[in-house]
């Protein structure tokens, strides 16, 4: 079963890593648009054009589904991608609905493009949740993650400054609305009150994948992964190995 993961950079590895725990015998393709990351500070038109090009490329590799492992690309471009491509496209939207099931108020962290996007506005309107969701753009974390900077003083100060804009005890959950933010759960955990639970969209995304491709649940044998960095095939190098190791450590943090 050949399935592609697409992200602006290496945030989407958090979705791939979880897929490696759940499924066997798959041929995964991971595409990081490393020449154009970050997407979150670009315009809707730019993000759409970049996403369409990347997904056309992935569709040409005869994948059975493309996971847009990027909330930003989903926000800006998912409708256009679905309209233009025959392959099933699974998007990722910040898991606000889930967060509001378990807490009265939540903090939604995402990129600027996701936070300012019409898709999020529509979602909050549908859920009648504008008053219950505090929005926080954390573009700095995308840069930190791409530079493999996880535990520095700069990361800590950045997160302390941004999260402390809110009266944290008023919130029961924090939505990780950008796949790059999964790398920073340890530092966030130290800053947030104990009762604040992390919510990400990874589980829902992979459940959707198994609904669309039920045979994925019964695959046997090792998974194979190929990596592409902006259309160039690349090997699992030291950077990718470091990122996957980091994600393994972050999986345990709730």
Q: Which residues bind ligand DGL (CB under 6 A)?
A: 7-9, 11, 37-40, 70-72, 111, 114, 142, 178-180
Three-class DSSP labels, the chain: CEEEEEECCCCCHHHHHHHHHHCCCCEEEEEECCCCCCCCCCCHHHHHHHHHHHHHHHHCCCCCEEEECCHHHHHHHHHHHHHHCCCCEECCCCCHHHHHHHCCCEEEEECHHHHHCHHHHHHHHHCCCHHHEEEEECHHHHHHHHCCCCCCHHHHHHHHHHHCCCCHHHCCEEEECCHHHHHHHHHHHHHCCCCCEEEECHHHHHHHHHHHCHHHHHCCCCCEEEEEECCEEECCCHHHHHHHHHHHHHHCCC
**Of 28 and 39, which CB lies nearer to ligand DGL in the complex structure?**
39
- Supply the minimum distance, in Å, between the C-beta of residue 212 and ligand DGL: 20
Which residue in 26, 55, 106, 178 is the catalytic one? 178
CB 118 to ligand DGL: min, Å: 15
Cα Rg, the chain, nearest whole Å? 17
CB of 70 to ligand DGL, least distance (A): 4
* Catalytic (active site) residue 106: no
Binding residues for substrate: 7-8, 39-40, 71-72, 179-180
Shortest CA distance to 148 belongs to which of 33, 14, 238? 238
**Distance (Å, rounded) from C-alpha 248 to C-alpha 18?**
9
**Nearest Cα to 140, choosing from 13, 15, 254, 41?**
41
Nearest residue to ligand DGL, scored by beta-carbon proximity: 40
Q: Which is nearer to ligand DGL, 9 or 172 (CB)?
A: 9
Catalytic residue at 70? yes
The nearer residue to ligand DGL, 8 or 187, going by C-beta atoms, is 8
Q: What are the residue numbers of the active site?
A: 70, 178
């Amino acid at each position: 079963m050949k399935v592609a993961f697409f992200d602006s950079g290496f945030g989407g590895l958090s979705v791939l890593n979880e897929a490696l725990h759940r499924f066997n015998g798959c041929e995964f393709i991971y595409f990081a648009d490393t020449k154009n990351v970050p997407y979150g500070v670009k315009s809707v038109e730019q993000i759409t054009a970049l996403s369409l090009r990347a997904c056309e490329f992935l569709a040409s590799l005869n994948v059975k589904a493309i996971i847009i492992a990027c909330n930003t690309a989903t926000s800006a471009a998912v409708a256009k991608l679905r309209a233009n491509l025959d392959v099933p496209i699974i998007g990722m939207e910040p898991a606000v609905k889930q967060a509001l099931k378990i807490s009265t108020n939540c903090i939604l962290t995402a990129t600027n493009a996701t936070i300012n996007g019409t898709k999020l506005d529509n979602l909050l309107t549908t859920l009648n949740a504008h008053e219950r969701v505090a929005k926080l753009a954390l573009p700095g974390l995308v840069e930190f993650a791409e530079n493999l900077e996880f535990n520095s003083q700069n990361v800590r100060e950045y997160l302390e400054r941004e999260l402390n804009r809110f009266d944290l005890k008023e919130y029961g959950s924090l939505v990780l609305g950008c796949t790059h933010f999964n790398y920073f759960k340890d530092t966030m955990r130290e800053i947030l009150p104990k009762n604040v639970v992390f919510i990400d969209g990874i589980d829902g995304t992979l459940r959707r994948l198994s609904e669309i491709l039920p045979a994925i649940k019964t695959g046997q044998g090792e998974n194979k992964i190929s990596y592409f960095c902006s259309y160039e095939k690349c090997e699992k190098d030291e950077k990718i190995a470091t990122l996957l190791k980091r994600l393994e450590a972050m999986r345990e943090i709730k």
